[in-house]
Chain A
């Protein structure tokens, strides 16, 4: 194996070991940061799946995070369900909502789809503000009793929520990787490279796009539940935050490298480093992210991973198949 690929994979393994060991070594503040990292990674993986492969460039991803947050709050606090069941149901509700949303926005293409998804997200956020059981427009905090059901002691709760985020991120990464290596994924990769070409050789574009959209929804919904467990409240502008759950996510994927598996991982890491560096600069944080993203689109559309890939001869997380090996040649 090429040394560059070997180093890259060694780094990935080291990262995974670090994440597995994190609950045993990190302070509660550190653990919260890593939990946040994992939820952002899930959001980035899903936006990358939609925009990078399935040609569904949404600016309304925050809708499903918000739906998940509200559904989670409803099942856990209002209905008094089991906490882990509430998390799963949050994903299910997001999946159910994705059907009508898809019926609306799939009539639009390209930039129209992007803004159309934003309209839908805005409508859902405003509608969430009308739910009086959820505190209306100003939102409501989680009752202490409900919070404690995730762990009586604060430290236990952080660890439990961390494992939840870890499991979700691992599932998102592995299952999406599996999806991309399946027949459907190979079709999607062909679609990413040339939509007409893929259609001409018989890739069912419509079915693949529907599958991807439905695939992303439950992950986003469960991420919304985890975010709610960290913020301990639901409120329309925070739970449906376009800046946090869509704008940052788009910048993460674009900077890291859209249309690859390595890109969202690199982008999320870079995002958290930049956030710590630029934390005190106020509006400059977003101005820098915006300018860097535009620069990347103009200069290296495949982002940081695209730049690195010039020196690394193979993917660290291979989604393609090597035809040589399969036929026993090479």
Chain B
């Protein structure tokens, strides 16, 4: 019995890797641009469908499909920020919420119009079923493990980019005080747009992993947004490592809830979030 619970916790931690990856981009846009993109989950699902079209529709190998989508996502993120979001930033809370909300509804319905309402999944071949035997009662899937390792690497990489590179220093400068940054000659719209491009890359990577690991349909976006939001808030705003911890916490809460009763999986994640948030509103590792 204890073995079964231990196994569920391990699976939950791995699931948390995927959730943390959903949350990474949201954490970045919340920390740098100080807004919550309500279309975040729908953009992830949009990537899932792009992977589906390339890999299943056109027969492009999966890795090549991802290699095509990632730079595209950077450009899309840059353009989205520059042409749309930048125009409504700094005008109070309402416009940016409404614009990203409208975007979310447009993406959901455009996907539904293009692909229909069916539930989809992208087959990934033998990696899907491959497992590693750890100890008795605990088997770890190669795909979930790959995703978890990728999530940790992504946090490391983003952390390095933000705190060890020139563009990272510029992004933080613009984020801390846009007008002071403008004063010393930093073009804040351009730098915000680059940050959103980086968010786009995290969306592309997490969407590609989601497409091969879980089922998705055109309305899957909001539930991904809620998970990502919960991971960001639980982890503490502005802390990427906190976001990873938040994602893992949600993954474990969900699998333990699912162990208790399959129907409780999603609800258990939300309840865990609400309880921890009530007790510790600043999150586990607040940076600010």
Which residues in A have some Cβ–Cβ distance to B below 8 Å?
A: 51, 55, 57, 59, 103-104, 107-112, 114-116, 118-120, 122-123, 126-127, 130, 137, 242, 247, 250, 254, 258, 282-284, 286-287, 289-291, 293-294, 297-298, 301
From known contacts A115-B229, A126-B270, A294-B102, infer whether A301 and B113 are also in contact, taking CB-CB under 8 Å.
no
Verify A111–B95 contact, CB threshold 8 A.
Answer: no
* A51 CB contacts on chain B under 8 angstroms: 94
Smallest Cβ-Cβ distance to B228: which chain A residue: A115
Of B97, B104, B230, chain A has the most CB atoms within 10 Å of the CB of B97
Contact of B102 among A57, A118, A137, A290 (CB under 8 A): A290
Of B8-16, B61-69, B272-280, the segment with at least 4 beta carbons within 8 Å of chain A is: B272-280
The secondary-structure label for the interface of chain A is helix
Q: Is B99 an interface residue (CB 8 A)?
A: yes
Interface string of B64-107 (1 = CB under 8 A from A): 00000000000000000000100110010111111101111110
* Interface contact A297-B88, CB-CB below 8 Å: yes
Sorted nearest first, the 8 A-B pairs with minimum C-beta distance are A111-B36, A110-B93, A283-B109, A290-B105, A283-B113, A290-B106, A290-B102, A294-B102
Q: How many residues of B contact A (CB 8 A)?
A: 44
Name B114's closest neighbour in chain A (CB-CB): A283
Within 8 Å CB of A289, what residues of B?
105
Partner of A250, one of B36, B98, B266, B281: B98
Q: Is the CB of B38 within 8 A of A111?
A: yes
Task: Label chain B's interface by main secondary structure.
Answer: helix
Q: What residues of chain A lie closer than 8 Å to B270, measured between beta carbons?
A: 119, 122-123, 126
Contact of B97 among A57, A116, A126 (CB under 8 A): A57
- A114 CA / B96 CA spacing, docked (Å): 11
In the bound complex, residues from chain B placing their C-beta under 8 Å from that of A123 are: 267, 270-271, 274
CB A244 to nearest CB in B, in angstroms, measures: 13
Would A122 and B226 be within 8 Å (CB), given that A110-B36, A111-B93, A111-B96 are in contact? Answer: yes
Cβ of B225 within 8 Å of any chain A Cβ, yes or no, is yes
Alpha-carbon separation in the docked complex, A123 to B275 (Å) = 12
Known A286-B105, A290-B103, A298-B88; contact A254-B98, beta-carbon cutoff 8 A: yes
Given A112-B233, A119-B270; A297-B95 close (CB under 8 Å): yes
- Tell me which residues across on chain B come within 8 A of A254, comparing CB atoms: 98
CB distance from A2 to the nearest CB of B (A): 30
Is B112 in the interface zone, CB < 8 Å from A? yes
Task: Please tell me if the beta carbons of A291 and B102 are within 8 angstroms of each other in the complex.
Answer: yes
Q: Do A286 and B109 have beta carbons less than 8 Å apart?
A: yes
Bound Cα distance from A140 to B91, whole angstroms = 45
Enumerate chain B interface residues (CB-CB to A < 8 A). Answer: 30, 35-38, 84, 87-88, 91, 93-99, 101-106, 108-110, 112-113, 222-223, 225-226, 229-230, 233, 263, 266-267, 270-271, 273-274, 277-278, 281
Q: Give the residues in chain A near B88, CB-CB below 8 Å.
A: 297-298
State in angstroms the CA–CA spacing of A31 and B96 once bound together: 38
Q: What A residues does B106 contact at CB under 8 A?
A: 286-287, 290-291, 294
Task: Please determine whether B36 and A114 come into contact, CB atoms closer than 8 angstroms.
Answer: yes
B87 CB contacts on chain A under 8 angstroms: 298
Q: Interface centre among B88, B101, B273, by most A CB within 10 Å? A: B101
Nearest residue (CB) in A for B227 is A119
A59–B38 Cα distance when bound, in Å, is: 10
Please give 12 more A-B residue pairs, beta carbons under 8 A apart, in addition to A122-B270, A247-B105, A294-B102: A59-B38, A111-B37, A116-B229, A123-B274, A126-B267, A250-B101, A254-B98, A283-B113, A287-B106, A287-B109, A294-B99, A297-B98
Contact A283 B112 (CB under 8 A): yes
The minimal Cβ–Cβ distance linking A137 to chain B, given in whole angstroms, is: 8
- If the complex has contacts A57-B93, A284-B113, are A293 and B98 also in contact, measured as CB distance less than 8 A? yes
Shortest CB-to-CB span from A118 to chain B, Å, is: 6
Kindly list chain B residues whose C-beta atoms are within 8 Å of the C-beta of A57: 93-94, 97
A124: nearest chain-B partner, CB-CB: B270
**Sample (24) of A-B pairs whose CB atoms are under 8 Å apart:** A59-B38, A59-B101, A104-B274, A104-B278, A109-B93, A111-B35, A112-B229, A112-B233, A114-B36, A114-B38, A115-B225, A115-B229, A119-B226, A119-B273, A122-B226, A130-B263, A137-B263, A283-B113, A286-B105, A293-B102, A294-B98, A294-B99, A297-B95, A301-B94
A247 to B95, CA, bound (A): 15
